[in-house]
Amino acid sequence: MAADQKALKATGRARPGGCGARTPSFGVWRTAIAVILLLVPHAAPVIRASAPSRVISLVPAATEMLFAIGAGPQVVGVGSYDNYPPETARLPRVGALLDPDIERILSLRPDLAIIYDTQTDLARQLQRAGIATFDYHHAGIADVTETLRRLGFRTGHTSEAERVASTVENGLARIRTAVAGLPRPKTLLVFGRERLALRGIYASGGVGFLDDMLSIAGGENVFADVKQQSVQASTETVIARQPEAIVEIHSADAPLGHEAIQEEIRTWSILASVPAVRTGRIYYLVDDRLVIPGPRIAEGTRLIAAVLHPGAVK
Amino acid sequence: MLSAHDVWFGYDARSPVLRGVSVDIASRALVGILGPNGSGKTTLLRLLAGTRSPQRGVVTLDGAPVAAQSRAALARRIAVVPQETQLAFDYSVAEVAMMGRYPHLGAFEIEGPLDAAAVHAALAATGTGHLADRQFTMLSGGEKQRVVIAAALAQISDSVEDTGTRVLLLDEPTASLDLTYQLEVLSVLQRLNAEHGLSIVISTHDLNLAASLCRTLLLIRDGRVVAAGASEAVLTQDSIRALYGVDAEIVDRPSGGRAILPVRRTGS
Amino acid sequence: MKSVRRRLVGTTLGFGALAAAAVLLAPLVGSTRISLRAAFDWSRPFADNPDAQIFFIARLPRTLAGASVGALLAAAGAVFQGLLRNPLATPFTLGVSAGAALGAMLAITFHWSFQALGLSAVPAAAFAGSLLAVAIVYALAQARHRGLSTTVLLLAGVTLNAFLSALILFVQYFANFADTYRTLRWLMGDLDISSYEPLLAALPLGLASMAVFAWLARPLNLLAVGPDSAESRGLNVTAAQRAAFLSASLATGAAVSIGGPIGFVGIIIPHLVRLIVGPDHRLVLPAAALFGAAFLVGCDVLARTLIAPIELPVGVITALVGGPFFLWLLIRRR
């Protein structure tokens, strides 16, 4: 309304937009003013946050992204579980998904906080304190590059973010090409299990970034039909679905020696009728790049592709 | 004869509850242990039953020390009836009475016709035979107490060869009962003593119960025996004063026996 | 009144048939269709026979685990109720399952990895935790009273429960989200043992406990009338209470190590059984064990078939059955 009135005053006529006969600049100016005035309420935070100088992040993937796009110097606090890149070691910790340390966060006087989209209470507290928040949404691989770009825009590193995102996309595309046309083994992608026992097996369902990784790496998820990010797989389900390959991915916070890994792989041997067990296609991978949906995700995907298609991918 | 010889006992070794108490319970005796609350009556019953051992002195049954006998053997001769019985689960009268047969059965032995007969007879003797299939918790106070007495009876009823002393110990048997039920229980006890030849020992603080039921009395105060002997001889104004610190009138009842009427506290 | 012997035979046969039916039928049911003929085709090598593998690795151990855990928890529940003279007592009242939960949580959070007596880290740690809880409660109850006071036992158990729960929360602070979630799932019960080893490991203890339960049946009857009168009937009350506490606690510890702390079995089954056979423990204990086995096997079948291929934790099913049952009990009370 206000914009129309202004436009009206400017031209004496209620005609939004310019038309061919008039000087383009007039219509352009009107539109520009209208747009600016419409956006003013929203512009403030964007203008304020366009170059935040004190950023904290509770999300490991987001922390990696910040450093990858060159926003490292702006980071003043990281999450409890963040350990990459090494520079994070000397930064103060502000908690994580379950236990954000609001006092710590406030004491660091951030002007941007990257939090999980599910941390609604925290978001409210931060808003009350006048701290801008960036909601991190954890879903598919596409969200990784999208988040990279959004973070780049938010922290004033748009072009670096674009570069990093493109690198990731290219990396993924290269893997896709390498495995194109190759037979896609039915794969059980396990991300959690009790040690030395086939109990509490958590596998990737048909949605989520783990499933995306598997797909790109040239594998077909045995649980593709289950539209959940995680499935607790019972022994019966595993035998019934007859996976041709079993890939276990674990973060590196509990590193295992070679012998221990072999023992873990042997735990599956009881399910002798499963093709993966019969042919020995059981892989136990320990690497953070596999479990953090961040800038190194293409490298993680490559690790999976390398075990599923050793000939085509290194 | 069930006897306590100069027994001393304390739950805490330093503060004795009983100090040098002696009592003889002959066959067919009807003994009352009379005293105020806290005088050690219940403890004395436990010592007589053999469930506790005296720190000094000895309890003997037919001459043999009670401590030397097995729990089961002792339980077959001496049974205890508590003041009140609270069941944790809903047993029937017959089941409660049958529990008395525990000392007669082996670890995994199931009760047989002998046990069933003993229970049947015991219920009949206490006038509760018709209640056998009822739930115990649904009975009146007097009926419950009579069933528990029946269980105790079934516990100590034995084969004919055994002619040793058999004793029923009752801890304040009528304290929580209404008047009607009190009289019920008393008449059962008298009958058991007269017809079945049981020795009956009751602990009570009720003077008139002691006077009317018991032939022999043991007066206890602060763990010591104040007087002992035949009821008429023992229950005097002096002994009552010594026991309760109360002045009482002792009157003859028209129906026989005596009644004790407390009048006032012994003033000073 | 029917003789106890006849009733005992009838009860055992009746509930035994129920348990047998459950154990025989449960492996035939599942989220996957299998061919029984193929499963029992001995000519095919086992390693090439998915139907046989599903039957003998996925379903049968699970069914047997359900039967064992159900029997142990139900019988232990009945024994605890007799010991504490309270029909509301459960196998978990005295802190045994809290100890097991702490053990399991430590194993999960700190990624312990070892094998002990045929058990992997989590069940072994859970059992060790339960033993610790039993030892502490027992020591506390002994210290304050000559013999074993059930009142002190109860107080000690409840206190230990509270303390261990606090410890569990404390340990949880060190756990990341995934480990916390895994512990939570363990707390809801899981019978998918996929091998017979845990059952064999628990067998000696389970059988020993059951043997002691058999001996305890009559003493528990006597205790139900009152510990003092039980003493005067010739029962060594302290010995019986000790035996009851230790055997029931160890049985519970074994059950919880295999399948996690599955609730409601230890309290519903004794109640239901008493409604059917009466309060005589000589009937209640075997009936509870057999009915408990059948019940838990049934709940596990529901857990793995209701929303297949997603599995519900079996503890959720027992709770969904148990809650309404208790409401019904409360309402029907005269």
C84, C154, C216, C229, best to mutate vs chain B, most B CBs in 10 Å: C229
What local confidence, expressed as pLDDT, does residue A27 receive? Answer: 67
Phi-psi category of residue B263: left, alpha or beta, with phi > 0 → left and psi -120 to 50 → alpha: alpha
Mean confidence (pLDDT) of chain B? 89
Asked if chain A contacts chain C via 3 or more Cβ pairs within 8 Å, the reply is yes
Query: Which residue has 């009857």 as its token pair?
Result: C221
- Reply yes or no on whether the pLDDT at A28 is more than 90: no
* C232/B72 touch (CB, cutoff 8 Å), yes or no: no
What is the Cα–Cα distance from B247 to B250, expressed in whole angstroms?
A: 10
What local confidence, expressed as pLDDT, does residue B231 receive? Answer: 87
Computed from CA positions of residues C316, C318, C324, C330, in that sequence, does the dihedral angle turn out positive or negative? negative
Strands A230-233 and B78-81: unpaired
* C53/A272 touch (CB, cutoff 8 Å), yes or no: yes
**What contacts A130, CB < 8 A, 6 or more positions away?**
none
Angle B50-B54-B57 (CA atoms, 0-180°, nearest 5)?
A: 115
- Reply yes or no on whether the pLDDT at A10 is more than 80: no
- The strand pairing partners of B219, in sequence order, are B34, B227
* pLDDT string in tens for chain B (268-residue length): 899 999 999 888 788 889 999 999 998 899 999 988 888 899 999 999 998 899 999 999 988 899 899 999 999 999 999 988 999 999 999 999 999 999 999 888 899 899 999 999 999 999 999 999 999 999 998 899 999 999 999 999 875 556 778 999 999 988 888 888 888 888 899 988 888 888 999 998 888 888 888 899 999 988 899 889 998 888 888 888 888 888 888 888 888 778 888 888 776 4
Give the three-state DSSP class for B149: helix
Query: A262 — contact with chain C (CB < 8 Å)?
Result: no
Residues of chain A with CATH 3.40.50.1980: 55-172, 185-308
- CATH of residue B140: 3.40.50.300
Size of interface A-C (CB pairs under 8 A): 105
- Reply yes or no on whether the pLDDT at A249 is more than 60: yes
Q: Concatenate the DSSP letters of all residues of B10-30 into one string.
A: -SBTTB-SEEEEEEEE-TT-E
Mean confidence (pLDDT) of chain C? 90
- Reply yes or no on whether the pLDDT at A12 is more than 90: no
* C222/B102 touch (CB, cutoff 8 Å), yes or no: yes
CB-neighbour burial class of residue C128 (10 A; exposed 0-12, middle 13-18, buried 19+): buried
Q: Which amino acid is at B162?
A: D
What is the Cα–Cα distance from B169 to B188, expressed in whole angstroms?
A: 14
Distances (CA, A) of B154 to A143, B5, B75, B114: 83, 28, 11, 11
- Reply yes or no on whether the pLDDT at A259 is more than 60: yes
Structure confidence at residue A21 as a pLDDT band (50, 70, 90):
very low
* C221/B107 touch (CB, cutoff 8 Å), yes or no: no
Contact of C11 with C285, CB cutoff 8 Å? no
What local confidence, expressed as pLDDT, does residue A99 receive? Answer: 82
A27-41, A44-58, A133-147, B176-190: which range is least confident on average?
A27-41
What local confidence, expressed as pLDDT, does residue C292 receive? Answer: 97
Contact of A303 with A247, CB cutoff 8 Å? no
% helix / strand / coil in chain C, to the nearest 5?
Answer: 75, 0, 25
Structure confidence at residue A14 as a pLDDT band (50, 70, 90):
very low
- Reply yes or no on whether the pLDDT at A18 is more than 50: no
Q: Concatenate the DSSP letters of all residues of A203-270 into one string.
A: EE-SSSHHHHHHHHTT-EETTTTS-SSEEEE-HHHHHHH--SEEEEEE-TTS---HHHHHHHHHGGGG
Residues C24-35 have a mean pLDDT of: 91
Nearest to B88 among C8, C86, C278 (CB): C86
What local confidence, expressed as pLDDT, does residue A50 receive? Answer: 55
Tokens of C159: 């206190």
Angle B148-B152-B158 (CA atoms, 0-180°, nearest 5)?
A: 150
Give the three-state DSSP class for C256: helix
Chain A CB contacts of C49 under 8 Å are: 273
Contact of A203 with A188, CB cutoff 8 Å? yes
Structure confidence at residue A24 as a pLDDT band (50, 70, 90):
low
What local confidence, expressed as pLDDT, does residue C39 receive? Answer: 86
What local confidence, expressed as pLDDT, does residue B60 receive? Answer: 93
Minimal CA separation from B215 to chain C, in Å: 25
Contact of C223 with C181, CB cutoff 8 Å? no
SS3 letters for B84-135?
A: CCCCCCCCEHHHHHHHHHHHHCCCCCCCCHHHHHHHHHHHHHCCCHHHCCCE
What is the Cα–Cα distance from B201 to B192, expressed in whole angstroms?
A: 12
Query: C26 — contact with chain A (CB < 8 Å)?
Result: no
- Reply yes or no on whether the pLDDT at A192 is more than 80: yes
Strands A245-250 and A282-286: parallel
Domains of chain C: 4-332 (1.10.3470.10)
Whose CA is closest to B5, among B34, B29, B25? B25
Contact of C122 with C108, CB cutoff 8 Å? yes
Percent of chain C with pLDDT over 70: 98
What local confidence, expressed as pLDDT, does residue A7 receive? Answer: 44
Phi, psi of C72, deg, nearest 5? -65, -45
Residues A225-254 have a mean pLDDT of: 91
What local confidence, expressed as pLDDT, does residue C118 receive? Answer: 75
What local confidence, expressed as pLDDT, does residue B160 receive? Answer: 53
What is the Cα–Cα distance from C67 to C59, expressed in whole angstroms?
A: 12
Gyration radius of chain C's alpha carbons: 20
User: Strand (E) positions, B156-254?
Assistant: 167-171, 199-204, 216-221, 224-230, 246-252
* A98/C49 touch (CB, cutoff 8 Å), yes or no: no
Domain span at B77 = 2-265
Q: Which amino acid is at A253?
A: D
* B51/C232 touch (CB, cutoff 8 Å), yes or no: yes
More confident of the two residues A296 and C145: A296
Minimal CA separation from A310 to chain C, in Å: 26
What local confidence, expressed as pLDDT, does residue A36 receive? Answer: 67
Chain B CB contacts of C224 under 8 Å are: 87-89, 91
* A272/C46 touch (CB, cutoff 8 Å), yes or no: yes
- Reply yes or no on whether the pLDDT at C97 is more than 80: yes
What local confidence, expressed as pLDDT, does residue C333 receive? Answer: 63
What is the Cα–Cα distance from A135 to A125, expressed in whole angstroms?
A: 14
More confident of the two residues B236 and A211: A211
Q: Which amino acid is at A24?
A: P
What local confidence, expressed as pLDDT, does residue A1 receive? Answer: 46
Chain C CB contacts of B89 under 8 Å are: 82, 87, 224, 274, 279
What local confidence, expressed as pLDDT, does residue C209 receive? Answer: 96
Tokens of B156: 């100590």
What local confidence, expressed as pLDDT, does residue C287 receive? Answer: 97
What local confidence, expressed as pLDDT, does residue A9 receive? Answer: 46
Asked if chain B contacts chain A via 3 or more Cβ pairs within 8 Å, the reply is no
What is the Cα–Cα distance from C104 to A58, expressed in whole angstroms?
A: 28
- Reply yes or no on whether the pLDDT at C138 is more than 80: yes
**What is the total count of domains within chain B?**
1
**What would the pLDDT profile of B77-89 be if each residue is shown by its tens digit?**
999 999 889 999 9
What is the Cα–Cα distance from A106 to A54, expressed in whole angstroms?
A: 11
* C47/A226 touch (CB, cutoff 8 Å), yes or no: no
Give the three-state DSSP class for C264: coil
Nearest to C215 among B89, B107, B169 (CB): B107
What is the Cα–Cα distance from A163 to A165, expressed in whole angstroms?
A: 5
* A97/C49 touch (CB, cutoff 8 Å), yes or no: no
Residues C244-265 have a mean pLDDT of: 94
* A195/C113 touch (CB, cutoff 8 Å), yes or no: yes
- Reply yes or no on whether the pLDDT at A2 is more than 80: no
Tokens of C326: 């208790």
H/E stretch holding B61 reads strand B56-61
More confident of the two residues B129 and A10: B129
Structure confidence at residue A3 as a pLDDT band (50, 70, 90):
very low
User: Is the preceding omega at residue C309 within 30 degrees of 0, hence cis?
Assistant: yes
In chain C, the residue whose alpha carbon lies closest to the alpha carbon of A231 is C310
- Reply yes or no on whether the pLDDT at A31 is more than 60: yes
What is the Cα–Cα distance from A85 to A75, expressed in whole angstroms?
A: 12
- Reply yes or no on whether the pLDDT at C262 is more than 90: yes
More confident of the two residues C34 and A188: A188
Structure confidence at residue C125 as a pLDDT band (50, 70, 90):
very high
What local confidence, expressed as pLDDT, does residue A11 receive? Answer: 46
Residues A24-32 have a mean pLDDT of: 67
Computed from CA positions of residues B189, B192, B195, B200, in that sequence, does the dihedral angle turn out positive or negative? negative
| CATH superfamily of this structure's domain A185-308 | Nitrogenase molybdenum iron protein domain (3.40.50.1980)
Residues C281-288 have a mean pLDDT of: 97
Contact of C53 with C46, CB cutoff 8 Å? yes
Classified by CATH at the fold level, domain A55-172 comes out as Rossmann fold (3.40.50)
Structure confidence at residue A49 as a pLDDT band (50, 70, 90):
very low
Angle between helices C237-259 and C121-143 (to 10 degrees): 160
Minimal CA separation from B176 to chain C, in Å: 17
* B155/C214 touch (CB, cutoff 8 Å), yes or no: no
* A273/C190 touch (CB, cutoff 8 Å), yes or no: no
Residues A111-137 have a mean pLDDT of: 90
> How many beta carbons lie within 10 A of that of residue A239, not counting itself?
26
Nearest to A200 among C49, C59, C185 (CB): C185
Q: Is the pTM of this model over 0.90?
A: no
Phi, psi of C88, deg, nearest 5? -95, 0
